Structure 1
């Protein structure tokens, strides 16, 4: 059985969230949900998440999973908000523990923060199989952008997370803590070894001038036209390109607030004595 897919594009962060389901009235998973965040005011809103909820209700779906491809650095996760309204288990790859360890030190989170992944309902092992109703899904490790990146394959469809972008945009950066261009190249080649007609769904699109947002392509299109990693690009060439390109990139606007929330599975930091949660900004640390 092939999945039914509904995509939701966030124009602010360039993120694509998905509702994946077996049939109307059936079972569903939500992938990479976005919690709106106004950095100037320090205020969250739920416009993007509410669009997902409305779709789920309109199609009488029951949510089994809220899937994260990794601990995102460009948006806050709406996983906890969705879980409160829709149920579903929040899941990510088991290597999130490594990412938690890195950022626990950066943000000086103290002994109360556990770097064991227990903030999530489920941690996927490599190549683990799971069900979304009648759909069989596979959790694939695709590290490189971060050590913990996941892709999710259902039939002839793969949600690639932050590995590949649309062919005219290229590939994900590798300069975050634990990222590695050589590892990303090898993860991408694994994905591109799938059948040519495999449909690939992006986690982000940053469209160049002249086209609107897009998020679906194929293995064949990526192998033929991806500007960073088309067939014929060697590992050595890719690593040199990626390292040079990454050296000139600014940090994402929301990396510091988003990571603190996303390594907690979408929970905010614990409230302080006045009942308010606070995000930390480490100075001169990145």
Structure 2
């Protein structure tokens, strides 16, 4: 990709540089780590107005019992209320395969618009067929309040924000640059752990490489906030914040000097060794519905389908 012709990336870079020069344009960020799913959720807010966004929330799910609960989400609720924040956005970086979103619960408690990338429609189509969801399941993204396109801008209070399409892990992955901070979902992990897998339906290792290199063309001091951490060998603490510069010099999979073909060969071989995420069937099935469970059947109970020998 010729980054010099990427007007969306240039706009994001200008926004980041302006925020680095003006502290008032930088958001306040709190991370909430869910060890059961190795997921980090974020509350991001504008200190000047207390307007907030919640990114990649987690609904607790006991797969053996088929029970949901709100322990992780309630930590966010408590934080928002304690700090008198006004939630305007509930953002999903993509339809997660490793945890169920708590966005509908948080929306009922705190308000806000539920948002995701427009290509969720492609994911809904693929997985709607896999789960035989039927004609009642709308495959038009209407379960969400806002579908973001690449380069679409919005504001968090007084702070500028821009959406970047970064497919590869899934077709619908988005990164959200808010002030000087980029929330990059599952595209990339801490430098010592590498990058996301690309073998889910619609995933593509070559697209993932190009998306990551797009992100790494942002200014070196751009703060990157990750959706997951698994503690790389030799590291004892979980971590989820890094920078573009540290990724470019140290990412074990995609640092400067690694070619696209080298990355695709590595990623393809590595993905063949990985088991499916433990919660992929319930997670994707619910998350393509905006985090809502399938409609209850005539006995008042919602059911999650498990396709047998279909994946």
For normalisation by structure 1, the TM-score amounts to 0.99
Aligned length: 286
Contact 2:231–2:237 (CA under 8 A) maintained in structure 1: yes
Aligned match for 2:112, one of 88, 106, 109: 88
Work out which of the residue numbers 276, 279, 283 in structure 1 matches 2:308: 283
Is residue 284 of structure 2 the alignment partner of residue 236 of structure 1?
Answer: no
The runs of at least 4 aligned residues of structure 1 exceeding 2 Å deviation read: none
Whole-angstrom CA distance in 2 between matches of 1:25 and 1:131 = 12
Q: 2:101 aligns with which of 46, 61, 77?
A: 77
Contact kept in structure 2, 1:94 and 1:124, CA below 8 Å: yes
Pairwise CA RMSD: 0.8
CA separation in 1, counterparts of 2:214 and 2:48?
33
- 1:106-117 to 2 correspondence within 5 Å? 106-117=130-141
Cα contact 2:169–2:186 (8 A) shared by 1? yes
1:271 equivalent to 2:296? Answer: yes
Conservation of the 8 A alpha-carbon contact between 1:69 and 1:161: yes
Tell me what 1:15 maps to.
39
Quote the offset at 1:26 in angstroms. Answer: 1.4
User: Which residue number corresponds to residue 219 of structure 1?
Assistant: 244
1:184 Cα deviation from its structure 2 partner: 0.3
Matched-pair contact (CA < 8 Å) for 1:24–1:59: no
CA contact (8 A) 1:25 1:59 kept: no
| Residues in 2 aligned to 1:125 and 1:202: alpha-carbon distance in whole angstroms | 21
Hey, what's the Cα distance between the residues in 2 that align with 1:229 and 1:208?
16
2:48–2:158 CA contact under 8 A, matched in 1? no
Q: Which runs of 5+ in 1 are unaligned?
A: none
Deviations 1:96-119 (A, max 9, x none): 000000000000000000100000
